[in-house]
Each structure stands twice: as C-alpha cells, then as structure tokens.
A = this chain, B = another copy of it.
Amino acid sequence: MSDIAALDKTVSPVEKFREYLVTKGQRLTREREIIVEEVFSDHEHFDTDQLVDRLSGRNDKRRVSRATVYRALSAMDEAGLLRKVARPNGREVWEHDYGYPQHDHMVCSACGELFEFHNDEISRLIEKITSAQGFLRTSHRLEVYGTCEACRRPQKRRLRKLDLI
C-alpha cells in the first residue's frame, strides 16, 4: 500500500483553509486557525462535542465557543478539509478529507466502532457505473454494516458503547 505517497500534502491544512476563505471573501481568524490546528493534530474520527472538549480543556487562551466550532466545521467541509463520515448516534462524525487517502468504513452494529478500509477497485467500479449514467461523480460515501471480528467472538465481547451511558 503506497497510501503514504498519496498524501501529497504540499500545503498545510491551515494554508489550504486560508486559500478557500479568500475565494469567499472570508477571513482566517485566530479562532479558525486554532480549530484547524486542533483538528489536524491527530487522525482520529471525532464529533463536535469531542472537539469542543479538546478546545475548551486548554489552559492557554485558545478557547473557542461551540457556535464557532460548528461554523468552522461546516466551512472546512466546503473547503474540502473535512468530511462527514457517519452519524452513528445522532451526532455527525467527522474525519480528515485533506492529506488523507480515500477510504470507506465498516460500522460494527454491536460495538459501534468504525473501521477503515481502502480499495481502488471499488472506486474505479463506482466511477465506471455512475459515469455510464451521465453522472459526474465528485465523491462517495460507503458504509458497510455488520459485526466486527472482536464482537463475533462471544467470550471476548467488546462493550457496547451504547451501554456505557
């Protein structure tokens, strides 16, 4: 897998965001920069609540309000930095869409965990089929539902996230 080669990150996420904002006559504020940096500081999936926690848990003056986080995520979506992955329990889950190779997800119905997988053939097939119908594809979202390996082994059953509430 030469996924790493696909990274091709010539411009930092913050720069990419700035570029997008200019085209819209908008501004790269301190708050937006803080959010982009926090979001791209690791590759995990996250929801808005988790991000707000990460940001408000800081003891420096880099706190950002919840409303601004929502507004920024939506702008980063339009900018092509992020994409919505799934919506397991009523809240939108996000992941990096910039500098991260294309992939899809398996969603375990037992534990709620998301697993990534990548396959070029699927993408090629999707492109072929949809373009044959005159559709100009820009992206796709594929979620496979079922039971993950860990949850299939009764003795080592994972805790359901839902039960942790």
Contacts and interface: CB of A to CB of B under 8 A. Distances in A.
Contacts of A122: 122, 125-126, 129
Give the oligomeric copy count.
Answer: 2
A28 interface: no
Interface in A7-52: none
Sort chain A's interface into a size bin.
20 to 34
**For the complex of A and B, 8 pairs with smallest distance between CB atoms:** A134-B149, A137-B146, A140-B144, A136-B147, A138-B146, A142-B142, A136-B146, A141-B143
Interface of A: 87, 106, 108-109, 115, 117, 119, 121-122, 125-126, 129-130, 133-149, 152
17 contacts: A87-B87, A106-B130, A117-B130, A117-B133, A126-B142, A134-B148, A134-B149, A134-B152, A137-B144, A138-B145, A138-B147, A139-B144, A139-B146, A140-B144, A141-B142, A142-B142, A142-B143
